[in-house]
Amino acid sequence: MVIIGAGPSGLLLGQLLSQTGIDSIVLEARSREYVEQRVRAGVLEHQSVEILDAAGVGARMRREGLLHQGIELQFSGAAHRIDFAALTGRGVMIYGQQEVIKDLVAARLASGQALHFDAAHVAVRDVASDAPSVEFTAAGLTHRVRCDFIAGCDGFHGICRPSIPASALTCYERSYPFAWLGILAEAPPASPELVYARHQRGFALLSMRSPHTTRLYLQCAPEEPLAQWPDERIWGELQTRLSRSDGFRLNEGPIQQKSVTPMRSFVVEPMQYGRLYLAGDAAHIVPPTGAKGMNLAIADVRVLARALAQFYRTGSTEALAGYSQACLRRVWKVQRFSWWMTMLLHRLEEAGGFDERRQIAELDYISSSRAAAQSLAENYVGLPLE
Ligand code: APR
Ligand code: PHB
């Protein structure tokens, strides 16, 4: 088995396979330092936590991660708590994606299974045949590896999806006329839970990584030049958008990292072609508002690992044949939720104010109806894997 990409999907797939005795090679275009330092999302669904635990990589997450039992929705200058524990009996874990990556890389190295960083010229061959192979260059040498299957875990900009004939795939896509400017700041989070704020100047989010580190986002223009955002402007805008009538203030501190994240909804159907199986961002992208990207990647590879285990145990290709269908049903529900959270909270450049009033009415409804709050909560903590 060859796995292309050492993000959450590729590394977790490798780990789940090695637990069932299936050998694999993981190829990653970037360096180990790069993948372990790249700041990404940080919310794990209840079920993702259980999957990481069962994969044997949950120990540090259990020690250092922050269990959250709810979130705050903020609008019209006041915050309203959505109590996940009361509404669903579950919660989420705040633990950075790069920490998940570090734990998975350590487990991979301990297992002795192959992991090549800095792999160049990665190309997949003959995926429609029974004898696929993967070519790559590592440390100046070109290799060709024959394998039973290939997992395309190489993200949205990878080579696996484009290597499938376009006529065999349908892409569904929506782009949004805004992006998120994200910062990581050395400052204690001013709220014990995440705050999702709708403000007339645009969306803002308070998140965190530890009791000493705050992660903050604000809605900006797509491809916003970071040069236009000196630290004082970022803090000023965040303080305004997250302000409320009770005098709440963010704690400010040195900014360690700044980046702009584009917003996109994307799904490819099917998620497989011949002996190539796509997982995670290679197959779908969600806007970050629902905090679902990493969780979808984890769910995909759980389904794929089980299908591969069935094949190697019994010779049956039934679960492999149904991989895409098994994933897509849930993927579309998660797409719907991520789109809905996005359209609920962002400033939309429309004339006439209809959307503004529609958003406030919806937020008011969620804050006053148990049924509406429960719908948000059960999606946020994670829909079941079927
Ligand atoms: N060859 C080898 N590796 C590649 C190639 C290639 N041609 N192209 C891309 N890669 C690597 C990238 O460098 C990256 O490390 O594949 C990896 C894909 O990882 P992610 O982008 O993290 O995707 P995935 O594992 O599916 O995880 C999805 O990551 O982007 C976030 O928000 C997203 O949380 C979600 C999660
Ligand atoms: C994060 O902490 O990075 C984060 C949290 C919630 C989101 C998106 C990102 O919806």
- Tokens 């099917």 label which residue? 270
User: What is the C-alpha separation between 102 and 333, in angstroms, rounded?
Assistant: 30
> Closest ligand 2 atom to the C-alpha of 94?
2
Neighbour-count burial of 163, counting CB atoms closer than 10 A to its CB (0-12 exposed, 13-18 middle, 19+ buried): middle
Q: Which residues are paired to 276 by β-bridges? A: 150, 273
State in Å: Cα 82 to ligand 1 middle.
Answer: 32
Q: What is the pLDDT of residues 146-176, one digit of tens each?
A: 999 999 999 999 999 999 999 999 999 999 9
From 176, 196, 273, 323, active-site residue:
196
* The predicted structure's pLDDT at residue 341: 98
| pLDDT > 80? residue 127 | yes
Q: What is the pLDDT of residues 317-346, one digit of tens each?
A: 999 999 999 999 999 999 999 999 999 999
Q: What is the pLDDT of residues 255-267, one digit of tens each?
A: 999 999 999 999 9
Contact (CB, 8 A) for 374 and 228? no
Q: What DSSP character marks residue 292?
A: -
> Closest ligand 1 atom to the C-alpha of 279?
26
pLDDT average, residue stretch 39-59 = 97
Nearest ligand by distance to the CA of 35: 1
User: What is the C-alpha separation between 118 and 302, in angstroms, rounded?
Assistant: 26
Q: Ligand 2 within 6 A of 68 CB?
A: no
Contact (CB, 8 A) for 96 and 42? yes
| pLDDT > 80? residue 386 | no
Split at pLDDT 50, 70, 90, the class of 213 is very high
Task: Reply yes or no on whether 380 is catalytic.
Answer: yes
Mutate to test the pocket of ligand 1, among 25, 28, 32 (most ligand atoms within 8 A of CB): 28
| pLDDT > 90? residue 351 | no
- Tokens 């994240």 label which residue? 261
The tokens for 283 are 């197959």
- Tokens 């044949």 label which residue? 321
User: What is the C-alpha separation between 49 and 43, in angstroms, rounded?
Assistant: 10
Mutate to test the pocket of ligand 2, among 72, 194, 292 (most ligand atoms within 8 A of CB): 194
Contact (CB, 8 A) for 134 and 27? yes
| pLDDT > 90? residue 62 | yes
Nearest ligand by distance to the CA of 282: 1
Contact (CB, 8 A) for 382 and 237? no
Number of other CB atoms surrounding residue 363 within 10 Å: 20
**Separate counts of helices (H) and strands (E) for the chain:** 12, 20
Which of 324, 299, 323 minimizes the C-alpha distance to 309? 323
Q: What is the pLDDT of residues 81-118, one digit of tens each?
A: 999 999 999 999 999 999 999 999 999 999 999 999 99
Mutate to test the pocket of ligand 2, among 38, 93, 205 (most ligand atoms within 8 A of CB): 205
Q: Ligand 2 within 6 A of 287 CB?
A: no
State in Å: Cα 7 to ligand 1 middle.
Answer: 5
Phi, psi of 327 (to 5 degrees): -75, -45
Amino acid of residue 164: I
Which of 295, 377, 301, 332 minimizes the C-alpha distance to 47? 295
State in Å: Cα 140 to ligand 1 middle.
Answer: 23
Task: Reply yes or no on whether 176 is catalytic.
Answer: no
Contact (CB, 8 A) for 299 and 312? no
Q: Ligand 2 within 6 A of 46 CB?
A: no
Q: Ligand 2 within 6 A of 291 CB?
A: yes
pLDDT average, residue stretch 204-225 = 96
Q: Which residues of 283-300 are buried (b: 16+ CB within 10 A; e: fewer)?
A: bbbbbbbbbbbbbbbbbb
Q: Which residues of 226-251 are buried (b: 16+ CB within 10 A; e: fewer)?
A: eeebeeeebbebbeebbbbeeebebe
- Tokens 């909560």 label which residue? 377
